[in-house]
Amino acid sequence: MSVDQATVRRVAHLARIAVQEEELEPLKGELNAILAFVEQLADLDVANVEPMTGVIPMELPMREDVVSDGHYPEKILANAPEAEGGFFTVPKVVE
């Protein structure tokens, strides 16, 4: 499978990365080189193989459903590019 310019544009939007018009063609080439490389997997019949879900067989641990951490909003917000009144701020989403 290979991608065309329209697909590159759509994928960039899904990935929330702005791409300039002139970047589409080179990106298409790079992505297609990688897709051609992974295409080797087509030779392999995996019909009766289970997909791997965890590399080390183990059960996920359970814990009590209680608050075990938190109560330091100032630490959480310390690295925010914009914060106000104890909240992260973003451009207006709803008119």
Residue 63, amino acid: R
Verify binding: residue 13, another protein, rule CB under 8 A. Answer: yes
CB environment 24-54: b (16+ within 10 A), e (fewer)? beebbeeebeeeeeeeeeeeeeeeeeeeeee
- Least distance in Å: CB of 54 to another protein? 8
73 binds another protein (CB under 8 A): no
Residues of span 29-68 touching another protein by CB under 8 A: 30-31, 33-35, 37-41, 44, 46, 49-56, 58, 60-61, 63
Tell which residue, 34, 43, 26, 35, has the closest CA to residue 1.
Answer: 35
Residue 71 binds to another protein (criterion: CB under 8 A)? no
For residues 80 and 38, what is the distance between their CA atoms, to the nearest angstrom? Answer: 38
Binding stretches for another protein (CB under 8 A): 1, 3, 7-8, 11-19, 27, 30-31, 33-35, 37-41, 44, 46, 49-56, 58, 60-61, 63, 72, 75-76, 78-82, 88, 90-93
